[in-house]
Amino acid sequence: MKTLTLAILLFFSAACFAQERPLSNDDRGKLIYYEVVTVKDASKDSLNARATVFFKKSSKSLKLKSRESDSVFQAEGKLIINKTAMVLSRPSGEVLYNFYAEIRDGKYRFWLTDFNFIPYQRDRYGNFVPSTTVGMPLETRPGKLNAAEWAGYLKATTSAANVFAGRFKAAMMNKVAAPPVIKAEPVSPAKKW
């Protein structure tokens, strides 16, 4: 009886932890994914190097917009939202977002915000392309006809934001090999070479 109760408790606790972290609203009313992570025994320089490597590796989906100082990163990214019917999948739109990261000694914080949805349509060649250049903020409430589809976009964006956060945290945990320091030896021109 105890093992059955323990198994049920473990199942429900695993199901609770497996749920995705939902997007919350910030003080501006915008959807945001915000997290502060503490990394023991990591200096600011080491975390900066790890973040730089992450931005270089993910340069296709994330473009570094500015780097105000050594510890503040700002980037723009894009997520593709797919619509699946039976077995077939097709892109239904893209979500543009802004990514910010600040680094200090032993900890860093990052957030994704300003999510804007741009729907896709087929062009005359059969390719899926953005139907407009102006995105619609995900915070807006659609009408009754589009409510279910909009909820699907929000759910897909939430799962993609959680996956992105996991990739960023994993990259920040990896130790970057520091380049060897070459010490300059004093040179004497009178010496034979």
The enclosing domain of 139 has a CATH number of 3.30.530.80
Q: How many helices (H) and strands (E) does the chain have?
A: 3, 8
What pTM did the predictor assign? 0.74
Task: Flag whether pLDDT at 10 surpasses 70.
Answer: no
Q: Does a structural domain hold residue 179?
A: no
Q: Does a structural domain hold residue 51?
A: yes
Task: Flag whether pLDDT at 27 surpasses 50.
Answer: yes
Question: At 94, is the pLDDT very low, low, confident or very high (cuts 50, 70, 90)?
Answer: very high
Helix boundaries (H) for the chain = 2-18, 44-57, 147-173
Q: Does a structural domain hold residue 183?
A: no
Q: Does a structural domain hold residue 187?
A: no
* Cα Rg of the chain (Å, integer): 23
Q: Does a structural domain hold residue 166?
A: yes
Task: Flag whether pLDDT at 26 surpasses 60.
Answer: yes
Q: Which structural domain range is residue 131 located in? A: 19-173
The number of folded domains in the chain is 1
Q: Does a structural domain hold residue 180?
A: no
DSSP 102: E
